Amino acid sequence: MTSAPSKQPKFLPNAQDLGVVAVGFSGGQPKPGVDAAPMALVEAGLIKQLEEDLDYNVSYDGQVHNFSEMLPADDPPYRNMKRPKFCSAVTKEVSEQVYKYAMQEKLVLTLGGDHSIAIGTISGSARAIRERMGRELAVIWVDAHADINTPETSDSGNIHGMPVAFLTGLAKDDNEETFGWLKPHHMLNLKKLVYIGLRDIDNGEKKILRENGVKVFTMHDIDRHGIGKVMDMALGWIGSDTPIHLSFDIDALDPQFAPSTGTAVRGGLTLREGDFIAECVAETGSLVAVDLVEVNPSLDEHGAADTVRTGVSIVRCALGDTLL
């Protein structure tokens, strides 16, 4: 069962050094419980497996940050965003933590939490990659959703539907306490973003994706070409010489395999397709950071254990586990 990452890492001299950030944050959406995911993943043995089966030197403070000390006394909706100050403060802190590990040339694994935390993770990696190598980061966003609403296009006001808009500068705010801390060095080029697995895109998001020529592989593309060809095309778009941040929303998988998530959408990836995406990214040797988000162990009508197990498997594959 034991296996080492299959290819020589391109951007991390000590690719077996892994920094783990556990973000117990649920404020980017309305359902409680997604904050308990990091603990559930750790209790399922994730960190232990990464150390023992995959030989990583794991830096992890053993704590799931819940950021309760950052909860603002007053946090009314602003520009249609719910809990804007809390989300902004937490993602800013996550950005710093990811940045620190990335500057130490560690691979960074962030366990969410809802997908709003990607504002922190991706801004932290993008900044570190710029500083360390003068390079731009590429992002592979695996999800049922595009999460590219601006505050103005969002119907829900939930910030977990907006991270890509903030990260690419499509959405901006001048106030430091409502994402104004995001500066150009934190940002992602829309041309370096690739989506896989989308099937529930809001009308405003469709317009944004089309107008900006964003590279999207929907479930339709996967049905048409198969996941193998889609991964070739996705990685071909990024190129073999660009650092990659993988942001994996568990709801990309079909609810059969990952029912315990806040915004489940039928018609998703199979378990193997999910693992395969992660395996292909690992094989590039270009991976610098991974997020696993939106596992909600309290939505357990169908058994959260399955969803947690699916999450563990995705992370293992992304970090170099192979079938043989």
149 contacts which partner out of ligand ARG, Mn ion, none, CB within 5 to 8 A by kind? ligand ARG
75 contacts which partner out of Mn ion, ligand ARG, none, CB within 5 to 8 A by kind? none
Of 55-63, 124-132, 147-155, 240-248, the window that binds ligand ARG (rule: CB under 6 A) is 147-155
Residue 283 belongs to what H/E stretch?
Answer: helix 271-284
User: Which two three-digit tokens encode residue 127?
Assistant: 């900044």
Residue from 35, 75, 143, 273 touching Mn ion (CB under 5 A): that is: 143
> Greatest CA span in the chain, whole angstroms?
53
- Taking a C-beta distance cutoff of 8 angstroms, is the pair 91, 116 a contact? yes
**Count, residues near Mn ion per rule CB under 5 A:** 7
The least distance separating Mn ion from the CB of residue 143, rounded to whole angstroms, comes to 4
168 binds ligand ARG (CB under 6 A): no
State yes or no: is 220 an active-site residue: no
Of 66-74, 89-97, 145-153, 169-177, the window that binds ligand ARG (rule: CB under 6 A) is 145-153
Of 75-83, 206-214, 244-252, 306-314, the window that binds Mn ion (rule: CB under 5 A) is 244-252
Q: Name the nearest CA neighbour of 293 among 265, 238, 253, 233.
A: 253
Candidates 65, 145, 186, 245; catalytic one: 145
Task: Say which residues have a Cβ less than 8 Å from residue 201's Cβ, sequence separation at least 6.
Answer: 145, 146, 209, 218
Q: How many CA atoms lie within 13 A of 117 on its CB side?
A: 33
Query: DSSP letter at 82?
Result: S
160 binds ligand ARG (CB under 6 A): yes
DSSP 114-179: SGGGHHHHHHHHHHHHHHHHS---EEEEESSS-----TTT-SS--GGG-HHHHHHTSS--S-GGGT
Question: Pattern 251-270, binding to Mn ion, x per CB under 5 A?
Answer: x-------------------
93 binds Mn ion (CB under 5 A): no
161 contacts which partner out of ligand ARG, Mn ion, none, CB within 5 to 8 A by kind? ligand ARG
Of 17-25, 123-131, 146-154, 237-245, the window that binds ligand ARG (rule: CB under 6 A) is 146-154
Amino acid at 216: V
Residue 289 belongs to what H/E stretch?
Answer: strand 287-293
The least distance separating ligand ARG from the CB of residue 52, rounded to whole angstroms, comes to 31
Amino acid at 203: N
Q: Name the nearest CA neighbour of 146 among 185, 204, 61.
A: 204
Candidates 251, 254, 275, 321; catalytic one: 251
- Residues taking part in catalysis: 115, 143, 145, 147, 160, 249, 251, 294
Footprint of ligand ARG (CB under 6 A)? 115, 145, 147, 149, 154, 156, 158, 160-161, 202, 249, 251, 263, 294
Footprint of Mn ion (CB under 5 A)? 115, 143-145, 147, 249, 251
